[in-house]
Every structure is written in C-alpha cells, then in structure tokens.
C-alpha cells in the first residue's frame, strides 16, 4: 500500500485541514465520515506526540550512556593503576543508577494510549467500509443512482487513505515498541550489573566486562529507535497531506 503525493502540497497544519473539512461538510452530507476524518487527525496528533516522547527518552538514553562510558573510562584508569577500590568507577555507576530508567512511566502510558487508539480507529474504519460496500451494492442494482454512487466512491477513497495511513502508523508503532524493548533489555542489564558492583556482590572487573559487552550493541539500538520515530513522523505527515489533497479535490462527476 502506498500514497501518491503532489510535490506542490507542502506542510499543512491542523487548523488548515479542519477549515477545509468544515467547508466540505455540505458536499459530503455524511456526519459519520466527517467525524472519522476528525478522529483520524486527532489520532495522528497523538501519535506525533508519542514520537516526540520517544525523542525525549532517547535524549535521556544518550545521557545515561555517557555516564556508563565515563565509568568505563575511570575503570580502565583505576585498573591500570591497581586501585582496587575503584572509587571513581563506582561513583559513576551510582550516578547512572540515580539517573533512572530513560523510558519513564509517562512514556509507557502515552505509548499504550496511542496504541489502543490506533487499534480502535482501524476498527471504526473497517465498520464504515463494510457499510459503504453494502451501499455500493444497492446502487449497482438501482443503476440510475449515479450521484449517490459517485458520493459513496468518494467516501471510499477518503476511508482508503485513512486506512493506509493508520495501518502504516500501527506498523511504525509496533516497530518502535520492538526498539524500546531492546533498549530496555540493555538498560536492565546495566542496572543489574551496577547493583552488583555497588553492593560488592560481584567483583568490579567482572561487572565492567559485562557492561562493556552489552554496550557494543547499544548505539545501534539507539539509532534504530530514532530512525523509527522520525519515519513514523514522516509517514503521518504524508498521510495528512494526501488526505488534504483528497478533501479539496471535487468528487468525480461534479
């Protein structure tokens, strides 16, 4: 599934879309479809907020990674100097622990809310699409109802655009969840090893070796999450522009 987009259509904001939508109410004469378009725009805005939240979390991830790198730097220095207390290393690990999980409870609240909203919206689209198909079947029987058939086809196009946009958003959100999960596994490993080192349950040298190995895949996972958040944002903006184009285009046969 893909979009065709006129390059002349630039970024549009929420107010512009809603203004055009309001001007087309008398043409569509379908309150349910208008409400669906409004829900689509609102759900998209919520998903964009989620992408912003991802980028905020990524900023914290990068900050905590610097604390780990600093701990590794001090560990190398103290290990070469045979400083068995590893005082600076442990101080950095304590700072890392104090920073906490970069993916806050608020982030997961936003994520779960947006995920449920996208699922619910896709179900609304599915029900509306079924009704339109039934109506099209009736207009084929009463072939003289050309205007009604044109109107229904136009509504189908709008629903198809929203369906593609929402489906892509769901795919992107699921990929974001996978990326977050990978980073969370790495972060939990860092935190567990930090606790071992601070409590002296495991020798610092063994802990830092585990941390160093876990850190090798961390930058790649960070980059992948950032790319997915940017891709999700771009796909949403593209879907909104395509919908805007369809709304302002006169129905066929008019």
**pLDDT, tens digit, 9 for 90 and up, residues 90-112:** 999 999 999 999 999 999 999 99
Helix axis angle for 146-198 and 204-215, nearest 10°, is: 160
Q: What is the DSSP code string of 2-47? A: -----TT-----HHHHHHHHHHTHHHH--HHHHHHHHHHHHHHHHH
Calpha distance 110→208 (Å, rounded): 34
- Rounded to two decimals, what is the model's pTM? 0.81
Q: Above 80 in pLDDT, residue 9?
A: no
Contact 71, 89 (CB under 8 A): yes
Predicted local distance difference test score (pLDDT) of residue 4: 43
Sort 148 into a burial class: Cβ within 10 Å, 0-12 / 13-18 / 19+: middle
Calpha distance 46→55 (Å, rounded): 14
Residue that wins the pLDDT comparison between 120 and 136: 120
């Amino acid at each position: 599934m893909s979009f065709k987009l006129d390059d002349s259509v630039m970024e549009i904001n929420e107010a512009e879309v809603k203004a055009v939508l309001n001007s087309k109410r008398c043409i569509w004469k379908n309150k349910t479809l208008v409400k669906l378009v409004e829900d689509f725009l609102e759900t998209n805005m919520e998903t964009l907020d989620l992408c912003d939240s991802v980028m905020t979390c990524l900023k914290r991830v990068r900050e905590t990674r610097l604390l780990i790198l600093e701990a590794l730097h001090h560990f190398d220095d103290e290990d070469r100097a045979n400083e068995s207390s590893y005082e600076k290393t442990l101080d950095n690990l304590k700072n890392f622990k104090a920073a906490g999980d970069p993916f806050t409870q608020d982030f997961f609240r936003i994520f779960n809310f947006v995920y449920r909203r996208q699922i619910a919206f896709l179900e609304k689209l599915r029900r509306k699409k079924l009704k339109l198909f039934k109506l099209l079947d009736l207009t084929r029987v009463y072939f003289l109802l050309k205007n009604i058939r044109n109107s229904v086809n136009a509504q189908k196009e709008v629903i198809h655009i929203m369906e593609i946009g929402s489906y892509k958003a769901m795919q992107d959100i699921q990929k974001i969840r996978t990326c977050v999960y990978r980073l969370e596994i790495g972060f939990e490993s860092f935190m567990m090893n930090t606790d071992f080192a601070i409590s002296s349950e495991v020798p610092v040298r063994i802990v830092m070796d585990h941390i160093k190995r876990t850190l090798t895949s961390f930058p790649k996972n960070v980059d992948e999450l950032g790319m997915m958040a940017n891709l999700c944002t771009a796909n949403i903006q593209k879907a909104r522009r395509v919908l805007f184009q369809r709304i302002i285009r006169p129905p066929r046969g008019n």
